Structure formats: structure tokens, C-alpha cells
């Protein structure tokens, strides 16, 4: 599907974004490992989280959708059953890597695969610690890429010093650790999103966090719980960037997760001069949530590097668009992990904004943008990557002429109603 974006003057309105993708995955997974009923409200019915539901169902867990909520009836840690076919994680790295952790703890054989993009993404990073815990785990291309075959069970607790700042790696090890005796510990090179830790605690597991060191105690009793998923900041950021960069905008995005390990983009936008009002802060199912109002104005360039990178890694395509619309230089460094996402997002961002007329230079671990050049509508490749499609749309809102986005249906991965939402708040 090709979508055409026309320039708009401003964005105005009062909207909600769909539920957080990372938390939706984890809620289904922990619901499957808990005993009794877990009810999940504001679940993200995007393709990635639906993949998690299907994988968990293939393991014998009763998951069903009742109106707009998901109900999981778990039978405890030992209730998962050997699937009779390959498990398909679709486009979802979180499904594949976190489920690998769970399957490492289960005494049966399973195979995880995914679409062409996911089969190009590195799996060694989870396979290595899971093998060290005692799982039998093999994959294609010298243990690099899915399909990945796992024979689990008999897992031992380890302390794992992760070479990569990845919440998926941390979470895979912690989830496998649930099946071991004693504490399993992950030491991260930089802190990453902590949804797994928060949700494990919320379900009643013993979790200890000391700076970059996270431990979970194995074989907990996890009763089913009610989980309310906050709105996804990674979806909200596209609307916030567009609102911030267009004078005259006044947009309220309600119910957005502002977990500090996810909200780096808000700090960066504020540093760039965005007028954001973060109000009505509250805690929902152990996660901080707020309503965010953005007023349009002028942005200036900034530096984005170091330990903040994992706190905004998924927001960098949106922030790159903000930088192209800002005055002055923006430098993004230490973000080589962007190359291992649904597509190589460094190359993709440079191509997208370059074709739209921005002054952008690729670096090994990021990019440099000299903002302020007028953007031109173009024919844009989404690379089948939901966040690239949304970045192209936001750039198109402030470009001259029409922007056409190819394979734009990929927004259904994380924000199925994205284009409708954009239309509903656009002021021509």
C-alpha cells in the first residue's frame, strides 16, 4: 500500500496512542507463566504483539481476546507444552528473543522463526548466554540467524555481563532465570528499558536492581494479575515531533508511558526547544504515565550520544526528522545498534532525509544533520519498517509537495491507526 502525505499547517487535537509494544509483549508472556487469569487492558493489537499471542497459544496457553482486552489463563512455569510446529515471530525481535529465554527453561524442543527482516537480525546475543545457562540452542549460519532451535530445561542460574546494551538480551536471560534455582543476574554496559524488571515485580517475583546489575530469583509463584498497558511513547513521539516543529500546533497526547528508561526523546526534544507540558503523572501497573501537551515552535540542533541512547533508540528516526526541521547541527553518536533493527535505520534515515533534501551525512554509529533546509516531497521507501514509514510521514507534513510512502501498511506493526490519527489532527 502506498500512502500520500500532503503538507499541513499545524496539528491540533486531543488523542491517545495505542498501548506500549514492549509492555504488551511482556504482559502476555508473564501472564502465560503465571497461575490463573491475567487480564490485559489497552493491549497493543499490532502485528508484533499478535505474533506473541500466537506463539504463546502454540505452547498450549489459553489466550483470548474479549472485546478490547486480552485474557491469558496461565498454568504456572511448568505448564507450557511442546509445540507441534515451528513458532513464527513474524517481524518481532522482542517475540523471538524473549521467547527464546522462556523456551530455554522448558523441557522440550521448539523452533523459532520469523519474516525475512527478522531472519537477518542477530540472535547470537541471546543464544550465547542461554547456552551458558544450559539450554541446547542452535541457529542458521553458524548460530547467527533464525530459525533457531531450542531444547530447554535444566537451566542453571548465572551472572551474565552483557557486552551489548539490549533490553531484549537482558530480558531473555532474566526470563530463563525464572526456571533456575537461585538468583540470575545480568550486568548491563548501559541501562536499558526496565519493563521486564517492573512487570516481574508487579507479578510478585523477587527482583533486585543495583544500578546496571539486575537479579531475579528463580521458581517464583506468580499469580495472574490485571495489567493496564500505558500508551506507547515510541508511537507518541512521531506526533510530538510533528507538533513541536510546526508553529501553531497545540496537541494533547493522553496516557503516554514516561518510564525514564524509555523517555529519553522527551529530554532531547526539550533540549531542542520543544514546548512540552508533561502533566497528570501517575503510576499504572508499575509504570509511570502522563498526558503530554505540545505547542508548536522552533527547534534547534543538539547532540545525542552516550548512555541516553538506549533510552531513545527506537525514537531516533523521529528525532532525525526533528533535527532536519531544526536550525543548526545535530550529531547522533554511539547508536550503531540502530543498524540491527527492523532495517538498518542509520542507512534508512540517511536515505530518506537525503532524498527529501536534508543535509545529512552517515557515520558508522549515527549521523550528522545540518537542519533548516526546506524538505521536498519524495517517493520514500519504508523498507517495510514501521518506524521508517512514520518518520517519512512526519517529514512529509512539513515538506513542499506530496510525499509518497511505499509499503506504508507496515505501520500496523506498532500503530495500526497512525494515518487516521494523523488525518484527525491535521490542520490544512
- Strand order of the β-sheet with 403-406 is 3-5, 403-406, 379-381
Q: Are strands 403-406 and 3-5 parallel, antiparallel or unpaired?
A: antiparallel
Output 186 or 408, the one with its CB closest to ligand S3P.
186
- DSSP-derived letter for residue 147 is E
CB-based burial label for 150 (10 Å; 0-12, 13-18, 19+): buried
Quick one: cell of 49?
504483539
Nearest alpha-carbon partner for 265 in 228, 299, 297: 299
Binding site annotation covers 161? no
Q: Using CA of residue 257, residue 258, residue 262, residue 264, what is the dihedral sign?
A: positive
* 387 annotated as ligand-binding: yes
Closest by CA to 87, choosing from 66, 108, 64, is 108
Angle between the 233-245 and 386-397 helix axes, to the nearest 10 degrees? 20
- DSSP state at residue 309: G
The answer on whether 97 is annotated among ligand-binding residues is no
Contact set with ligand S3P (CB under 6 A): 22, 94, 166-168, 171, 193, 313-314, 337
CA-CA distance, 231 to 253, in Å (whole number)? 9
Closest contact distance (angstroms) between CB of 388 and ligand S3P is 13
**C-alpha to C-alpha distance for 129 and 158, rounded to whole angstroms:** 9
Q: Is 314 marked within a binding site?
A: yes
Is 412 marked within a binding site?
no
What is the DSSP-derived secondary structure letter of residue 282?
A: E
Shortest CB 110 distance to ligand S3P, Å? 20
Pick 195 or 398: Cβ nearer ligand S3P: 195
Q: Can you tell me the distance from the alpha carbon of 411 to that of 18, in angstroms, rounded to the nearest whole number? A: 12
Compare residues 72 and 316 and give the one whose CB is closer to ligand S3P. 316
Shortest reach from residue 399's CB to ligand S3P, in Å: 27
Phi, psi angles (nearest 5°) of residue 41: -100, 150
CB atoms within 10 A of CB 173: 27
Look-up of cell digits 545480568: 186
Q: Please give the span between the terminal C-alpha atoms of the chain, in angstroms, as a whole number.
A: 23
To the question of whether residue 398 is assigned a binding role by annotation, the answer is no
121 labelled ligand-binding: yes
Closest distance between ligand S3P and the C-beta of residue 133, in Å? 18
Q: Output 88 or 197, the one with its CB closest to ligand S3P.
A: 197
Q: How far is the CB of 245 from ligand S3P (least distance, A)?
A: 24
Give the nearest distance from C-beta 193 to ligand S3P in angstroms. Answer: 6
Q: Pick between residue 94 and residue 113 the one whose CB is nearest to ligand S3P.
A: 94
Q: Report whether 141 belongs to an annotated binding site.
A: no
What is residue 193's DSSP assignment?
-
Based on CB atoms, which residue is closest to ligand S3P, 94 or 403?
94
Q: Is 325 exposed, middle or buried (0-12, 13-18, 19+ CB in 10 A)?
A: buried
List active site positions.
314
**Cβ-based nearer residue to ligand S3P, 12 or 97:** 97
144 annotated ligand binder: no
State how far the Cα of 216 lies from the Cα of 186, in Å rounded to an integer.
9
Whether 101 and 173 have beta carbons less than 8 Å apart is answered as yes
- Beta carbon of residue 196, minimum distance to ligand S3P (angstroms, whole number): 7
Cell numbers at 24, concatenated: 504488551
Using CA atoms, how far apart are residues 61 and 320, in angstroms rounded to an integer?
41
Residues flagged as binding site for phosphoenolpyruvate:
21, 93, 121, 168, 345, 387
- Which residues are annotated as part of the binding site? 21-22, 26, 93, 121, 166, 168, 314, 341, 345, 387
Q: Binding site for 3-phosphoshikimate: which residues?
A: 21-22, 26, 166, 168, 314, 341
Amino acid at each position: 500500500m502506498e500512502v500520500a502525505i500532503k503538507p499541513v499547517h499545524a496539528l491540533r487535537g486531543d488523542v491517545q496512542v495505542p498501548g506500549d509494544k514492549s509492555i504488551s509483549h511482556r504482559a502476555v508472556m508473564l501472564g502465560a507463566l503465571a497461575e490463573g487469569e491475567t487480564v490485559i487492558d489497552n493491549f497493543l493489537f499490532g502485528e508484533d504483539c499478535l505474533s506473541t499471542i500466537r506463539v504463546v497459544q502454540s505452547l498450549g496457553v489459553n489466550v483470548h481476546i474479549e472485546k478490547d482486552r486480552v485474557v491469558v489463563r496461565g498454568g504456572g512455569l511448568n505448564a507450557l507444552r511442546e509445540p507441534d510446529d515451528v513458532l513464527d515471530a513474524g517481524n518481532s525481535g522482542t517475540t523471538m528473543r524473549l521467547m527464546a529465554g522462556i523456551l530455554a527453561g522448558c523441557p522440550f524442543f521448539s523452533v523459532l522463526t520469523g519474516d525475512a527482516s527478522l531472519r537477518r537480525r542477530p540472535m547470537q546475543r541471546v543464544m550465547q548466554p542461554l547456552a551458558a545457562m544450559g539450554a541446547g540452542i542452535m541457529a542458521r549460519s553458524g548460530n547467527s540467524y533464525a530459525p533457531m532451535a531450542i531444547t530447554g530445561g535444566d537451566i542453571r542460574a548465572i551472572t551474565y555481563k552483557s557486552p551489548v546494551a539490549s533490553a531484549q538480551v537482558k530480558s531473555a536471560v532474566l526470563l530463563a532465570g525464572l526456571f533456575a534455582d537461585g538468583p540470575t543476574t545480568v550486568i548491563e554496559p548501559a541501562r536499558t528499558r526496565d519493563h521486564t524488571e517492573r512487570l516481574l515485580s508487579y507479578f510478585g517475583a523477587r527482583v533486585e536492581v543495583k544500578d546496571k546489575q539486575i537479579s531475579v530469583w528463580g521458581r517464583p509463584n506468580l499469580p495472574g494479575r490485571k495489567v493496564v498497558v500505558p500508551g506507547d511513547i515510541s508511537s507518541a513521539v512521531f506526533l510530538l515531533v510533528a507538533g513541536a516543529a510546526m508553529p501553531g500546533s497545540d496537541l494533547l497526547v493522553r496516557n503516554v508511558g514516561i518510564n525514564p528508561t524509555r523517555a529519553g526523546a522527551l529530554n532531547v526534544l526539550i533540549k531542542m526547544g520543544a514546548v512540552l507540558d508533561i502533566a497528570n503523572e501517575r503510576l499504572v501497573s508499575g509504570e509511570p504515565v502522563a498526558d503530554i501537551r505540545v505547542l508548536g515552535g522552533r527547534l534547534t540542533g543538539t547532540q545525542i550520544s552516550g548512555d541516553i541512547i538506549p533510552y531513545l533508540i527506537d525514537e531516533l528516526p523521529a528525532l532525525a526528522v526533528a533535527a532536519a526541521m531544526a536550525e543548526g547541527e545535530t550529531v547522533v553518536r554511539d547508536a550503531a545498534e540502530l543498524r540491527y533493527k527492523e532495517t538498518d535505520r542509520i542507512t534508512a534515515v540517511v536515505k530518506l532525509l537525503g532524498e527529501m533534501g536534508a543535509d545529512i551525512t552517515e557515520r558508522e554509529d549515527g549521523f550528522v544533520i545540518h537542519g533548516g533546509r526546506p524538505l521536498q516531497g519524495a517517493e520514500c521507501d519504508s523498507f517495510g519498517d514501521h518506524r521508517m514509514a512514520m518518520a517519512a510521514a512526519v517529514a512529509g507534513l512539513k515538506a513542499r509537495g506530496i510525499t509518497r510512502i511505499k509499503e506504508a501498511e507496515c505501520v500496523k506493526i506498532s500503530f495500526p491507526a497512525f494515518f487516521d490519527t494523523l488525518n484527525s489532527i491535521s490542520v490544512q
